[in-house]
Chain A
């Protein structure tokens, strides 16, 4: 049986809070009914989006908040990570797997997000920050729906 609901957490832009958001993601995903591997994958994607928000969106300024909303139901979970930055163009981010980028020490976060959830979107809120939205479907939920349960 899966749970449904919405949880919003707001944290200061400190690196230590990455672990906190990751831990909350794991707990919520467990409650929703994802399996161990899916929890790990979703957690990694949430972690990367949170790192991106804290480091790049808010420039590690602890006065700026990062808001993370977990919205979940029988179909899956959407995690929206919002910062105070300007956002970014998903298609303009350099591919870190190209030979010329392989030795870069950063730039792999988006690749990991895309690899481990079903959908990644970036929304800009004029003057009010940017939001990365991650969606992962629940395999059991989809199967139940197909079977008409």
Chain B
């Protein structure tokens, strides 16, 4: 998994790409989100457009990140999950946890 950060006003957008799977991928996701929370960022958008694949460990880490952000007074929203990843989020009903947006502007304005 690779991650690219950028700021849009008070919101941090984390553009993820590659695979979020057991081992390296889930660890990197945890670290990237934790770094943002540790730096005091409380509004985070995870862009999943370029994430092609996730397994149960990646899905679990996504949920864990959501919980950690909430515990730290922050919020995480998801932007543009790709085909298979969108299917997995829907199948596992993780879509009921996260707010999911197709438009970045709307995601940013939603905080």
Residues of A bordering B, CB below 8 Å: 15-16, 18-19, 40, 44, 47-48, 51, 96-97, 99, 102-109, 111-112, 115
Q: Which DSSP category, helix, strand, loop or mixed, fits chain B's interface?
A: helix
| B36 in the interface (beta carbon within 8 A) | no
Q: B residues engaging A (CB < 8 A)? A: 21-23, 55-57, 59-61, 63-64, 66-67, 84, 88, 91-94, 96-97
When distances are taken between beta carbons in the complex, the residues of chain B under 8 Å from A115 are: 91
**How many whole Å from B21's CB to the nearest CB in chain A?**
8
Can you show 22 pairs from A to B with CB atoms below 8 A apart? A16-B23, A18-B23, A19-B21, A40-B84, A48-B55, A51-B22, A51-B55, A99-B96, A102-B63, A102-B97, A103-B66, A104-B60, A105-B60, A105-B61, A106-B60, A108-B56, A108-B59, A108-B60, A108-B92, A112-B56, A112-B91, A115-B91
Decide: A102 near B57, CB < 8 A? Known: A15-B22, A16-B23, A51-B22: no
Having A99-B96, A108-B92, A111-B91, one finds 18 other A-B pairs with CB under 8 Å, namely A18-B22, A44-B55, A51-B22, A51-B55, A51-B56, A96-B92, A102-B97, A103-B63, A103-B67, A104-B60, A105-B60, A105-B61, A105-B63, A105-B64, A105-B67, A111-B92, A112-B55, A115-B91
A104 CB contact (under 8 Å) in B63, B84, B88: B63
